[in-house]
Amino acid sequence: MLKRTPLFDTHVALGARMVEFGGWEMPVQYGGIMEEHRAVREQAGLFDICHMGRFMVRGEQAEEFLQYVLTCNVATIPFGQASYGLLCQPDGGIVDDVFIYHLLDEFLVVVNASNRDKDWAWLDQHSAGFDVEIEDRSERWAMLALQGPLAQDLLTHAPDSTLGDLAHLPFHGVAMTTVFGFTALIARTGYTGEDGFELFFDAHHAVEAWDALLALGGGGHVQPCGLGARDSLRFEACLPLYGHEISATINPYEARLGWVVKLDKGAFVGHEALAAVRAQGPARRITGFELLGRGVARGDYPVHNLQGEPIGHVTTGMPSPTLGQPLGIALVPSGLSSEGSEFAVIVRGQPVRARAVKMPFYKPRYKKL
């Protein structure tokens, strides 16, 4: 039986097309993916992300514990800031990618919806021997994302709020505030390649908050957005999606996420294997590409070299709404991952020549002070 967020009935009332995603019944689109995609690039879009996991980590050894299970250096995340990190297996494969928020006397770890149960079990398993408490707050808290170039101005003027001037909230900054009359955490984070915010608050305020966010600026400035636009937006910014660019069989260096691996911070799960990969260099690597012939690349399409031999596969592919051309991301031998390299994508049984291009396809417009 599929799980539903507190906003399920609201999505249905708005005419959303509901689909299965990671065990959840979620909106894939409302009016249309292209319309929603453009709204986020040009104005503002609102996403229901209550399906994601929210785990609180606290205790005397909370930082030490997170240092042990994550590849990033948790000790360098200041209070009131968030950071991207990876949970890795001992062999270096990726368990999940997560965001860590440093709050007062505790950390908030946000995980992917499809991995909630698995990540909880992983953290619980590795907490043995640490003076730490882990609390699953996923059902208690709702989580919404307001993304786009108008997000700051619209949210700054939200009624019954003590947000202050959001221009002073730095990229990846997080703060406790009041919005629409209730307490919330606000973070300058997101998954679209645009400036924007994610809001965390008690789940019983979900419908009220959703309606109030859509009404910002007098209404008409914020578009409800589904999973379709979320995927196309993150794709253009080349942000990885679990099960596609990252997985248990893909390590951070293969996924171009070596910058998240801090080998010099000390021991952590996967350290030895990842040190070996870094020393030797990854045998394969994620690369962006453009098709030189007709067709559209889709996830899991085979990739061959120009001699016709299988060498990899497409992780994500689609026509880019912003750039107006079919693009893709593929996992290929490292020698073919550099800009300008050519290979063939098998589209409906036929090879279509492709060329590796610079990533990301769309330059993110994050608000960096």
Mind giving me the DSSP string for 305-362? -TTS-EEEEEEEEEE-TTT-SEEEEEEEEGGG-STT-EEEEEETTEEEEEEEE-S-SS
Report the C-alpha gap between 51 and 4 in whole angstroms: 8
Predicted pLDDT of residue 116: 97
Predicted local distance difference test score (pLDDT) of residue 332: 98
Which uninterrupted H or E stretch holds 124?
Answer: helix 116-126
Residue 298 neighbours by CB under 8 Å, 6+ apart: 314, 317, 318
Residue entry with tokens 């209404």: 219
- For the record, the structure tokens of 303 come out as 């990739």
Sequence-distant (≥ 6) Cβ neighbours of residue 246 within 8 angstroms: 86, 94, 97, 240, 252, 255, 257
Task: Reduce the DSSP state of residue 121 to 3 states and report it.
Answer: helix
Q: 343 and 334 in contact (C-beta within 8 Å)?
A: no
Please answer whether residues 317 and 303 qualify as being in contact, where contact means their C-beta atoms are separated by less than 8 angstroms. no
Which residues sit in the known binding site?
Answer: 198
Residues contacting residue 297 through CB under 8 Å, at least 6 positions apart: 289, 291, 314, 317, 318, 326, 327, 328, 330, 345, 347, 352, 354
What are the pLDDT digits (tens) for 321-349? 999 999 999 999 999 999 999 999 999 99
Binding site for substrate: residue ranges? 198
- Look up residue 100 and give its amino acid: I
Question: Any idea where the domains of the chain sit in the sequence?
Answer: 8-52+139-236, 53-136, 283-356
Q: How far is CA 269 from the centre of its chain?
A: 22
Taking CA atoms, 364 is separated from 64, 193, 236, 337, in Å, by 32, 4, 9, 22
* pTM confidence score: 0.96
Class of domain 53-136: alpha beta
**Contact present, 43 and 114 (Cβ < 8 Å):** no
Q: Which residue stretches of the chain have pLDDT < 70?
A: 369
Tokens of 224: 């409800």
Torsion sign across C-alpha atoms 217, 220, 222, 224: positive
Spatial contact of 85 and 72, defined as CB atoms under 8 Å apart: yes
Q: Cα–chain-centroid distance for residue 44? A: 18
What's the CATH number for 8-52+139-236? 3.30.1360.120
In the CATH scheme, what is the code of domain 283-356? 2.40.30.110
Over the stretch 150-186, which tens digit does the pLDDT of each residue have? 999 999 999 999 998 899 999 999 999 999 999 999 9
